[in-house]
Amino acid sequence: MQVDFDLDFKRPLYIIGDVHGCYKTLCALIENLPQKEKSQMIFVGDLVDRGTESCEVVEFVIFGKYPCVLGNHEILMMEFYNSASVEREGVWIENGGRETIQSYAKDGKIKHLKKHLEYFENLPLYLEMEYPDESGKNLFISHGFGLPLYGKKISEEYCWNRLKHYGKSYKRNDVDIFNVFGHDVQKEGVLITENFAAIDTGCVYYSRLPNATLSALEWPSKRVISQKYCG
């Protein structure tokens, strides 16, 4: 979808990678942005699961009115609460849903659950904006690897598609977009090519990835700002 929110294209954007409930790390990252919470931020989805403060992350994004695209973990969470399938419920629980349930169960935060689920239901699969980089490519934000899907049938595949199925050298010369996405953890830091940037740097996996951070990509400069896990 084309953006329908106010953006000042004279100011940079900061596209935030997969937060996965790491609220304190998100706050620390934002402190490193030039205008902190007043910076123009867009989130690539997967706000929830695995980390301990998913409710806080979602509430922050809603309260700040920051644009966000739908991630596969938001889909799993909606399926858990809306589906009668025991099998589908188990998929979410085993993929970080347990920690998310706990985040809503503490300190009366359960009151936010209905609002947050309704918020997820209205998130777009992607965002496209006429805000070109130095080579003239417009910004295209999705959760999964959206470049191969661009111009094709719109579906939840935008939330699930993985870079590893195509390779890091994949490119398209038939479209003038630059795809920024999350979903695929980049163990060596943000991956930037001429066609795309993969910005999930695995913050929530800090216990097993020595370089795990939460990253923001500044647009259109493509400068990377990262924050090590701190909760």
User: In the block, which residue shows the tokens 């403060």?
Assistant: 53
pTM metric for this prediction: 0.95
**Mean per-residue pLDDT for 163-170?**
95
**Mean per-residue pLDDT for 159-178?**
96
For the chain, the maximum distance between any two Cα atoms, rounded to a whole number of angstroms, is 51
* DSSP string of 184-203, one letter each residue: S--TTS-EE-SSEEE---BG
**Mean per-residue pLDDT for 110-126?**
96
Sign of CA dihedral 157, 123, 131, 18: negative
The one-letter amino acid at 173: N
Cross-strand partners of 197? 180, 192
**Mean per-residue pLDDT for 137-150?**
98
pLDDT band at 1 (very low <50, low <70, confident <90, very high): very low
Q: What is the pLDDT of residues 34-91, one digit of tens each?
A: 999 899 999 999 999 999 999 999 999 999 999 999 999 999 999 999 875 667 778 9
Q: Which among 133, 145, 230, 131 is positioned nearest to 181, based on CA atoms?
A: 145
What is the domain class of 13-228 according to CATH?
alpha beta
Q: Decide if pLDDT at 126 tops 70.
A: yes
The one-letter amino acid at 136: G
Report the pLDDT value the prediction gives residue 108, as an integer from 0 to 100: 87
pLDDT band at 198 (very low <50, low <70, confident <90, very high): very high
Residues of the chain above pLDDT 70, percent: 97
Q: Using CA atoms, how far apart are residues 185 and 200, in angstroms rounded to an integer?
A: 5
- Window from 6-10, 138-142, 215-219 with minimum mean pLDDT: 6-10
Report the pLDDT value the prediction gives residue 8, as an integer from 0 to 100: 86
Q: Decide if pLDDT at 3 tops 60.
A: no
